[in-house]
A and B are shown apart, each in its own frame.
Chain A
Amino acid sequence: MSVPEQPVTAAPNRAGRFWLVAMTVVVLVAFVASRLASSSPDGLDRVVQDRGLVARSAPDNADQAPLAGYATAGVEDSGPTKGLAGILGTLAVAVIAAGAGWVAMLASRGAAGRGARRRHGDASP
């Protein structure tokens, strides 16, 4: 089913290209999606509205959150501003998630010592 001539582990330049393409896709999606997003309520919001569920009318931290409503404060409904907010959030998520993973890895190495590498190569899906 898969392409037979692909190497098992990608060559360095190929790996670099994957990360470049992937990061470009992510930033593009962030910029475009945050501007084009449908303004209709999502599934849960729709259920809340239609069935008369009770929630607070605004988020508790609506005034404190720097990018509340996916726009920077004061310039709402501005397409480029929303795109920028989307990109800022995306970069923050990337850094925090990778950082959390890094800390978790160091912590597990510290706890389990050299034995931690045993688990690698597990072949079940």
Chain B
Amino acid sequence: MHVPDGLVDAPTSLAAGAVAAVGIGVSLRRGGKELSGSRIPLTGLVAAFVFSAQMLNFPVASGTSGHLIGGLLAAVLVGPWLGALALTVVLAVQALLFADGGISALGINVINMALIPAFAGYGLFWLARLVLPRTRAGVLTSTASAALLSVVAGAAAFTIEYALGGNGAVPATTVAWAMVTVHVLIGCGEAAITTLVVGAVLTTRPDLVYGARDLVGRTRPVPELQGLR
């Protein structure tokens, strides 16, 4: 979903850059407060995983591929603030070193693939967790549904940016329909990969899953907890 150079005009790109800068600044402040020793390497690891997994394009329809965005994944693992920062680093490295996603469109890409999945996506995850049982299955169901919707939300955000300053005479409604339908398919892949990874970390190191902090300790047998004290 990387927006290339020249697809959205300069004023819209600049405005998006300003919005993205505010989002990153707030994330740095809030994320820094939440950080402790063990979350720093985890943030690096999550960003590295998202970067590597984003390179794997899976086919979704004839002649169309999709790849993990990973914003919701990062937010569930390290929290929305650090998740947004991790994705911002991924997008900046892609734009600067790999020429993947326009440098002029970096603000747009940060909004669509870092801020929206991390904050709107994590908000949906949190809402789903409130409704669903406080179990592993509840966490994974929330993860899957929020992952899917986070991709669709990013696609919808692009449509709004296109409506504001897109180059080309195509009606925004046409772009909206095309973007949302293809990204529902890509979102299914996002949900599958995200759920797989969150499930794996939940099995091996449940203490490292930010979005399931409330489960750690709660499901442990009481005698063992007392023995540790």
Contact = CB atoms under 8 A, between A and B. Distances in A.
A15 B206 CA distance: 12
A96 B2 CA distance: 20
A114 interface: no
Given A46-B64, A59-B99, A116-B33, A37 B57 contact: yes
Interface residues of B, number: 100
Given A37-B57, A98-B43, A105-B40, A90 B33 contact: no
B65 A29 contact: no
Given A2-B136, A90-B51, A47 B178 contact: yes
Contacts of B33: 108, 112, 116, 119
Contact of B213 (A36, A61, A123): A123
A43 B1 contact: yes
A65 B103 CA distance: 11
Nearest to A56: B6
B49 A42 contact: no
A1 B136 contact: yes
A117 B105 CA distance: 37
A13 interface: no
Interface residues of A, number: 84
Nearest to B213: A123
Contact of B32 (A42, A95, A105): A105
Given A43-B1, A94-B48, A1 B89 contact: no
Nearest to A35: B55
A22 B52 CA distance: 12
Nearest to A91: B48
A80 interface: no
Interface in B174-229: 174-175, 178-179, 182-183, 185-186, 202-208, 211-217, 219-221, 224-225, 228
29 contacts: A1-B219, A2-B219, A6-B220, A8-B225, A18-B208, A19-B45, A21-B204, A33-B53, A36-B56, A37-B67, A44-B158, A44-B179, A53-B167, A61-B96, A69-B98, A90-B52, A91-B48, A92-B93, A93-B44, A94-B44, A96-B47, A97-B47, A101-B43, A103-B32, A105-B32, A105-B40, A107-B28, A107-B29, A108-B29
Interface of B: 1-7, 28-29, 31-36, 39-41, 43-53, 55-60, 63-67, 82, 85-86, 89-90, 92-100, 102-104, 125-126, 129-130, 135-137, 155, 158, 162, 166-170, 174-175, 178-179, 182-183, 185-186, 202-208, 211-217, 219-221, 224-225, 228
Given A21-B204, A43-B185, A93-B93, 11 more contacts: A25-B49, A33-B52, A42-B67, A43-B183, A60-B104, A93-B89, A100-B28, A101-B43, A101-B85, A105-B32, A120-B36
